[in-house]
Amino acid sequence: MSFIKKHIIKFLFGILHSEAYKKYKQQQNNNWAKTHFKAFGKQSSLPETYWIKNPQYISIGDNFSSLFNLRLETWDRFYGKSFQPEIHIGNNVNFNSDVHIGAIDKISIGNNVLMASRIYISDHYHGNISAEDLDWVPAERPLSSKGPVIIEDNVWIGEGVCILPGVTIGENSIIGANSVVNKSFPKNSVIAGIPAKLIKTLEK
């Protein structure tokens, strides 16, 4: 590679990784969100890298932030079956990296929720976990939901948590790292484990 080519590549690399370019890219992402999401609140921002499916069914409140690799999916059709999906995220919500949320029904996240990295939240399954499912390869099994996922205000969700369909997490609760949550818990709960169990109840 010639001396000039090396310096051109170095120059372009510097631009792409500069703070000014990152701010420009983030502003472009935010402008896209404001025109495509059902709602996108004040002082909210998308990360530099994200994957969004059907943003018209997604509402985000004020002061939302996320680190890289945000993935939000709402499925309104899958192999000929129709759904009415909704993802609602409240005010002052903060995600770390690699948060994946998928809906065919409803996922509601309250205000002041804090999420760590590598979190998966879904209101549906591929199939019904039955013998009839064996007639289909996994990727083609019909999507089914056991109900919405509701995460109330002031919930703190630790690293690597998985929250499954039909679950409500009460306000002020804390979910320990790497937990799999397959049932609902009341407010002020500290939960952890696979499956998640009540560790203690927070009291003032």
Q: Which residue has the tokens 């701010």?
A: 23
Separation of first and last alpha carbons in the chain: 67
Q: What are phi and psi of 80, to 5 degrees?
A: 85, -5
Q: Is 17 a catalytic residue?
A: no
Q: Which of 17, 100, 124, 126 is catalytic?
A: 126
What does residue 142 show for φ and ψ, rounded to 5 degrees? -60, 140
Q: State the DSSP string of 142-193.
A: PEE-S--EEE-TT-EE-TT-EE-TT-EE-TT-EE-TT-EE-S-B-TTEEEET
Q: Which residues are catalytic?
A: 126
